[in-house]
Structure 1
């Protein structure tokens, strides 16, 4: 029976991934309905906490965008990237990493990818090199960001065993090391543009050749009045969350009692609730003091992306959690001995599921509880956290497709066999090195 149930889960994920957008969410609900009404499986708890965190963080990021703060950050990043064009393969991924670390979502990098592609092309550096590792680094940063839904999900699962600061001091250096390893493998990836047949064929078009050779001036459009202030408010909110995670005694305690979504049994406010409170309060501050409106926030592209993410998380995680809950005994007996003997093998399961779910938060929420029930040490689960970045494996994630579309030279591409795409080698190397570095750092720090 478990294999039939798993086949339904896999079919829902594959069909949902092809539908794109909210497809994963709605197909997850279809499979969940089959589980409940046909297989009589008891439904697990829906992932309300992860959904609320995504809503809060993305709403605040959209408020930052509406106030012009995103334009200000992009302008700063553009100056950095254009200052040393010969180092674009290094600077590109470092900038996208910092942006995602700061904002908690990789969708913020859409505005950076065309700059990276253009700087690479003008310098006659194969854009595939910088774009591929820049996309991967932005994904890795999600598992190092203090305000990402994936980090909050892991913190909720490991509550009482691991603090936010523990996750950050392992995952930030580990993912940076992984990013640098990806830079190394991308430094001379593929043919030079001068020898690339696809690029040379495109250069036969006079208009295309002229656009490549033309000088592009930096945008001089005036910033919105509250742009810089909105960045300051957003940055202070992120800093406050990190401080609260490092010093939980800063928060009030309400005495032991019944837990709910905001307070645990010891009376302390849960970190997920703190992220939601601080982020939405920051959004309110930006709207009040930075001359933007709620209507402008609702129209921001990041807000739309966040809404799609919430629907996708809702359906696919609820479906996966129900499958896991029903079959926990079988899964534990099958994987238990292997995982206990070699805990790192659980990272493979995280990677595979994330490649199917296209979401770090969904994978964390669905599989990390199983890791705990299998007896894996919390420190080892933190070390394996970067393994949930397998969403590049099948080239359907929006940031991958955006990078391909922004590369006018055609060097960034999906291969003939689907999985032999531009992001595969840097992705596998970066994730593997991040996990290895995570185990090393967790052994020292945790």
Structure 2
């Protein structure tokens, strides 16, 4: 078993080193070694989860190609620019809201220059809103009804026959939990670092010309004609998914003994939404596969396919040993499982992959579904090591140099807001779960 576990760790390490689709591909290599070298019987791959993600990503990608995501971004820009003095509070709430709607944290990228400009023009240290806004977009993934990580949770409950647990319960717990976490972290962020006027490093760089002085906001090109339409259609699809989730009677087919499973509903609705958008907006079909949204979705699917399959197979092969050992530890202190989720997300750089890899173990350990949902925000740990794309982008967009990686690497701009947001969200989520379930 020790050698097999070493294979799993090696696959994760290699996947993390390559990042992107490499995470899933090396997971598959690890599974190959377990099957051929150790005779491990592979479990079934997480098909439902992957299909949900593909369906949602297809709809979001058509919206992206039609300009709908750009339309949402411009709304967010107006909200942020309208409240410049409170940008440290407004920016993260805005990135949370738009990530919640779109189901992808990549919506934060075009907002980062806006946040920087707004903060810099207002004399506010850009590090404060930029770091927490980036963290907020990650937190929203574990609350969004159309995010890959949420799909992983829904698919897991469906696979295990826990049909009474799903999207409504996730939203009831994780929406307020992550919002409270982000808000508290935003308030804390207001006191991080020196004000620009009192920061000698900033002032020296400004005087030397190394930092461009604050500039007025520039004009952006007009939106494509179908941008608004595509966004509206997508939002209708999201609303339908939430509606079907909260009211199972709407999923009850004539003559059926039980409602249609939510994974199937999400797949049908979101693929149909994508088709309607194609027909109504007349967007070029060839443009859809070129969108950043679709590329990100494919990366998520490959990651879950290889890595989660590897984890499932390893745990299933040694469940009689792993479950009792970890159960003895977590029975005394359930928080250890939360730390395990956080640590895994640091390595895997994916909320969805972490969810699919470790949440089944949580069920096997006997944790109730409401506990796992409350702990769900703990999979937002990939800010810990500042190598993720959105973190690097925030550092690069902050021309003032205040958003940065520190001398000791881990003392970076995202650490405090990330730890505060995640810990408060988990604490709040577990509290809500205990109170209402």
State the TM-score, normalizing by the size of structure 1. 0.92
Deviation at 1:39, TM superposition (A): 1.7
Q: Note if 1:232 corresponds to 2:232.
A: yes
Q: Note if 1:76 corresponds to 2:75.
A: yes
Q: Is the 8 A contact 2:55 2:271 kept in 1?
A: yes
- 3-state DSSP class of the match of 1:213? coil
Deviation at 1:369, TM superposition (A): 1.4
Which residue in 1 is equivalent to 2:215? 214
Q: Is the 8 A contact 2:49 2:151 kept in 1?
A: yes
- 3-state DSSP class of the match of 2:354? helix
Deviation at 1:102, TM superposition (A): 0.5
Deviation at 1:255, TM superposition (A): 6.2
Q: Note if 1:310 corresponds to 2:311.
A: no
Q: Which runs of 5+ in 1 are unaligned?
A: 257-265
Deviation at 1:191, TM superposition (A): 2.1
Partner Cα distance (2:309, 2:335) in 1 = 26
> Judging changes above 3 Å, is the alpha-carbon distance between structure 1 residues 289 and 345 closer, same or farther for their aligned structure 2 residues?
same
Which residue in 2 is equivalent to 1:402? 393
Q: Note if 1:203 corresponds to 2:202.
A: no
Partner Cα distance (1:408, 1:195) in 2 = 17
Aligned length: 433
- Which of 181, 192, 198 aligns to 2:195? It is 192
Please list, as runs of the form range in 1=range in 2, the aligned pairs for 1:168-317 lying within 5 A after superposition: 168-206=171-209, 208-209=210-211, 211-219=212-220, 221-253=221-253, 268-317=259-308
Which residue in 2 is equivalent to 1:259? none
> Judging changes above 3 Å, is the alpha-carbon distance between structure 1 residues 6 and 197 closer, same or farther for their aligned structure 2 residues?
farther
Deviation at 1:418, TM superposition (A): 2.5
- 3-state DSSP class of the match of 1:162? coil
Which residue in 2 is equivalent to 1:263? none
Which residue in 2 is equivalent to 1:330? 321
Partner Cα distance (1:164, 1:372) in 2 = 17
Partner Cα distance (1:167, 1:420) in 2 = 32
Deviation at 1:201, TM superposition (A): 4.0
Partner Cα distance (2:201, 2:8) in 1 = 40
Q: Note if 1:343 corresponds to 2:334.
A: yes
Which residue in 2 is equivalent to 1:92? 91
Q: Is the 8 A contact 1:198 1:411 kept in 2?
A: no
Which residue in 2 is equivalent to 1:391? 382
Q: Is the 8 A contact 2:61 2:294 kept in 1?
A: yes
Which residue in 1 is equivalent to 2:169? 166
Partner Cα distance (1:385, 1:55) in 2 = 21
> Judging changes above 3 Å, is the alpha-carbon distance between structure 1 residues 126 and 327 closer, same or farther for their aligned structure 2 residues?
farther
Which residue in 2 is equivalent to 1:35? 34
Deviations along 1:113-162, whole A, 9 cap, x unmatched?
22112211222212111111111111111111111122122123233241
State the TM-score, normalizing by the size of structure 2. 0.94
Which residue in 1 is equivalent to 2:60? 61
> Judging changes above 3 Å, is the alpha-carbon distance between structure 1 residues 22 and 197 closer, same or farther for their aligned structure 2 residues?
farther
Q: Is the 8 A contact 1:363 1:388 kept in 2?
A: yes
Deviation at 1:168, TM superposition (A): 0.6
